Amino acid sequence: MIKSFQLETLMREKMRDAISVTEQAAVKLVRVRAAVAPLSEVLAGLAIAGVILYGVLRAGSDPQIIGRFFSFITALLLAGEPLRRLSRLHVDLATAAVPVTMMYDLLDEPVDKHEGAVRPPLKVTHGQIRFSNVSFQYQKGPEVLKGIDLEFQGHKTTALVGPSGGGKTTIFGLIQGLYRPTSGNIDIDGMALDEVSLKSLRAQVAFLDQEAFLFEGTIEENIRGGDLAKNHDAVVAAAKAANAHEFIVRTPNGYDSEINELAANFSGGQKQRLAVARAFFKDAPIVLLDEPTSALDSQSEQKLQSSIRKLSEGRTTILIAHRLSTAQHADRIYVISEGQVAEYGTHEDLLAKGGLYAELHHMQFSGEHVPGGEQTEL
């Protein structure tokens, strides 16, 4: 992005500013440390000189006093090094206090009562998801969802369409338990999400994003995720179902091939197919698709669409569709606008209504301007 938008000069200046601030702080710390030792030496020298002067004035010619005096001087000199170390202790403590404070700030964070609570596991039988008068807002932000009612039928495909910023991705976050609604209830097969363990909830959901994220490691490790119980044959079966097996076996080490940082050694289509393979391997009854084909060319999109259709069979599938051609085959379509359900129905029903969905469809497939077009940008 920096190269594409020619931001080199701007980012270079920002980096220089950041380095300058760090340099000034480091130099200040070095100055303080460097000043402590000479200062303590000078003070120690002055103290010894003062003691000697005092002893000379009091000793006179008495040899016993002179002996006791030099014994005291010797003890004082031996105490010099511990005193110097003690003088540096404050600087060392102040330096160590910063990471320690950060550590305790983290440890003192209250445990999320939902994350840490012991709750019964979610048991998905039919896979029906229901939102009942659900509202949600991010911290100190505007309300994203406003008393929304949704019903995602089990073993069916439901599409969410509508203008950007309407709250579609937030709905996915709520289903996965990443956020909790400000008000209202969400349940799956009649079990409220607030009453089930988050681990069991997320075990029942497979999520595919627009940009597949792969971790550094081998291909097999990425497909497995955290599941080490199944054997290698299950990994291969998942890859074949996702149309990924062919290109995997062509890599130098097959399923043991390493994935570089940000999966830079794989194309966009390959990364998405590996993500689909991961979803197949998880075998979750609920599938969330955030337009995973939006960044692919036509040929890669066709292969991936075939895999996704296979993945959706017999599962509750919810699809965020920015291209209505993806949504028109869904069993039900919800049009989400400004945090509310503008309309819902099948593709044919919504076209017949002539509402927002029809406007979006007309805009995408005819290329002509429609009233309210500025508000229906996807």
Higher confidence at residue 159 or residue 5?
159
pLDDT score at 86: 78
In percent, how much of the chain has pLDDT > 90? Answer: 45
Binned at pLDDT 50, 70 and 90, residue 326 comes out as confident
From 213, 189, 209, select the one nearest 320 (Cα to Cα): 209
Residue 60 is predicted with a pLDDT of: 65
Nearest to 278 by CA among 335, 218, 326: 218
Residue 171 has pLDDT above 80, yes or no: yes
* 323 or 36, which is more confident: 323
**What integer is the mean pLDDT of 344-363?**
92
Rounded to whole angstroms, the Cα distance separating 259 from 250 reads 14
- Alpha-carbon distance of 243 to 303, in angstroms, equals 7
Strands 143-152 and 129-137 turn out to be antiparallel
pLDDT, residue 193, reads 93
Angle between helices 8-59 and 63-78 (to 10 degrees): 170
The first and second tokens of residue 86, run together, are 């003690």
- pLDDT category at 376 given cuts 50, 70, 90 is very low
- The model's pLDDT over 66-116, given as tens digits with 9 standing for 90+, comes to 777 778 778 877 877 787 777 778 778 888 888 899 999 988 887 766 665
d(Cα 336, Cα 357) in Å, to the nearest integer? Answer: 10
Average pLDDT, the chain: 85
**Which residue type, as a one-letter code, is found at position 248?**
I
Tokens of 240: 């074949």
Confidence at residue 140, expressed as pLDDT on a 0 to 100 scale: 79
What's the rounded Cα separation, in Å, for the pair 276 and 281?
9
The pLDDT, as a whole number, for residue 240 is: 93
Residue count (the chain): 378
pLDDT (tens digit, 9 = 90+) per residue, 273-308? Answer: 899 999 999 999 999 999 887 666 677 677 778 888
Cα 282 from Cα 286, distance rounded (Å): 11
Distances (CA, A) of 208 to 165, 300, 305: 19, 16, 12
Structure tokens at 309: 């259709």
CA neighbor of 193 nearest in space, from 122, 112, 124? 122
Residues in a beta bridge with 187: 130, 192
Q: What is the pLDDT of residue 297?
A: 67
The phi, psi pair for 264, rounded to 5°, reads -70, -15
- DSSP H or E segment with residue 305: helix 298-312
Q: How many CA atoms lie within 13 A of 47 on its CB side?
A: 13
Q: Are strands 157-161 and 217-218 parallel, antiparallel or unpaired?
A: unpaired
Report the distance separating Cα 203 and Cα 176, nearest Å.
9
Token pair listed for 95 = 């330096």
